[in-house]
């Protein structure tokens, strides 16, 4: 029979026993509820070994890609090394550059002092002086060597203010994570994709779009960036060029305040999208940024036909402290 490695111990599976049952039998306080592969409470992550497909039924592709599975319906044929779903790594990192993309948006680039695996579009928690922590989405690809974050300058923001005025190239920080399921999963490369971001919600989408292109995604990619004013479209020229260089990529900029639109479209971005794409059956969607917009758009895109497992949403919640 197969065995499970968890922590520093090995757990032998009995005949027809699930991973969850083996752990519970050994006294491991593994979280669980329905024991029927339905509720998701017992989700774990496989670090090494083959997870049976049945143990991933119904999970999003991005969860499957990271090895997540439901322990209560997992009956592996061979040995499996597993971890709790929420185990995070912390690595030291150094700021390599800081530059201003817009009045209130900073681009922060970092180099990690230890191996740090991530996918473009996931988020990391940046830690300053071992205590102040804020989460930001990753705009860069792993092979680019550096981690790129887009940080909005918040009035009196303790992290963003520090990054704008005190931090510089060479400043040490640390990174926790990565976390989040908002990233491109290779496969189904003809599937049409729609990506909608407001403000620095563009950061993960910028990473995801480039990851998709690099993986040879062939289906149409519709990228929308929404801002309150024209100067919030902080990658406008760059994205216009990127779209010109890729036949399947279209970039649409939208500005809420009409007199200010310039070459962008004006008006609410959700109405613009639903007018242009009333039927999204079969699409893959990514939504990042303002929580209210992400929440309402998520529902609207679902009703327009995107399967719930094909919607990846990341609402940027303001920090409480």
Partner 1 sequence: MHLMNSSSLFEQLGGADAVEAAVDRFYRKVLTDDRVSRFFDGVDMDRQRAKQKAFLTMAFGGPHNYTGKDMRDGHAHLLKMGLDDSHVDAIIELLGSTLREMGAGEDLIGQVAAIAESTRNDVLGR
Using CB under 8 A as the criterion, which residues of the chain lie in contact with partner 1 when the complex forms? 33-40, 57-58, 295, 298-299, 302-303, 307-308
Q: Residue 196 and residue 192: Cα distance in Å, rounded?
A: 14
Q: Give the residue carrying structure tokens 């990506």.
A: 195
Q: Give the residue carrying structure tokens 């792993």.
A: 142
Our CB check for partner 1 shows the closer of 39 and 169 to be 39
Our CB check for partner 1 shows the closer of 54 and 158 to be 54
Please report which residue ranges of the chain form alpha helices under DSSP H.
Answer: 19-25, 61-65, 158-165, 202-214, 236-245, 269-276, 291-303
State CA 238 to chain mean position distance.
22
Mention every residue, 6+ apart, whose C-beta is less than 8 A from residue 16.
75
3-state secondary structure of 204: helix
Q: Give the residue carrying structure tokens 């990473």.
A: 207
* Shortest distance (Å) from residue 242 CB to partner 1: 31
Our CB check for partner 1 shows the closer of 63 and 206 to be 63
* Shortest distance (Å) from residue 180 CB to partner 1: 13
Asked if omega into 178 is within 30° of 0 (cis), the reply is yes
Which of 40, 44, 86, 96 is closest to 69 using CA atoms? 44
* Shortest distance (Å) from residue 34 CB to partner 1: 5
- The structure tokens listed for 135 are 């989460």
Our CB check for partner 1 shows the closer of 267 and 305 to be 305
Our CB check for partner 1 shows the closer of 35 and 75 to be 35
* Shortest distance (Å) from residue 33 CB to partner 1: 7
* Shortest distance (Å) from residue 236 CB to partner 1: 31
């Amino acid at each position: 029979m197969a065995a499970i490695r968890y922590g520093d111990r090995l757990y032998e599976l009995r005949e027809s026993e699930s991973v969850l049952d083996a752990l519970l039998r050994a006294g491991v306080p593994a979280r669980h509820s329905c024991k029927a592969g339905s509720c998701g409470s017992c989700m774990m992550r496989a670090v090494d070994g083959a997870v049976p497909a049945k143990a991933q039924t119904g999970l999003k592709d991005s969860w499957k890609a990271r090895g997540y599975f439901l322990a209560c319906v997992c009956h592996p044929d061979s040995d499996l090394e597993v971890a709790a779903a929420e185990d995070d790594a912390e690595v030291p990192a150094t700021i390599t550059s800081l530059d201003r993309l817009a009045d209130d948006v900073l681009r922060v680039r970092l180099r990690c002092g230890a191996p740090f695996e991530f996918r473009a579009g996931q988020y990391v928690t940046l830690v300053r002086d071992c205590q102040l922590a804020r989460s930001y989405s990753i705009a860069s690809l792993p092979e680019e060597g550096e981690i790129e974050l887009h940080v909005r300058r918040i009035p009196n923001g303790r992290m963003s203010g520090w990054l704008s005025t005190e931090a510089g190239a060479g400043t040490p920080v640390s990174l926790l994570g990565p976390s989040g399921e908002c990233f491109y999963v290779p496969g189904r490369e003809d599937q049409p994709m729609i990506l909608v971001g407001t403000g620095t919600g563009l950061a993960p989408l910028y990473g995801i779009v480039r990851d998709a292109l690099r993986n040879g995604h062939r289906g149409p990619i519709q990228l929308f960036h929404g801002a309150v004013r024209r100067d919030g479209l902080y990658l406008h020229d760059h994205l216009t060029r990127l779209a010109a260089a890729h036949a399947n990529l279209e970039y649409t900029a939208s500005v809420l305040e009409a007199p200010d639109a310039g070459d962008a479209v004006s008006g609410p971005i959700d109405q613009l999208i639903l007018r242009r794409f009333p039927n999204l059956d079969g699409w893959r969607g990514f939504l990042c940024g303002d929580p209210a917009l992400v929440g309402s758009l998520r529902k609207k895109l679902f009703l327009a036909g995107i399967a719930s497992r094909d919607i990846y949403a990341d609402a940027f919640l303001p920090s409480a402290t």
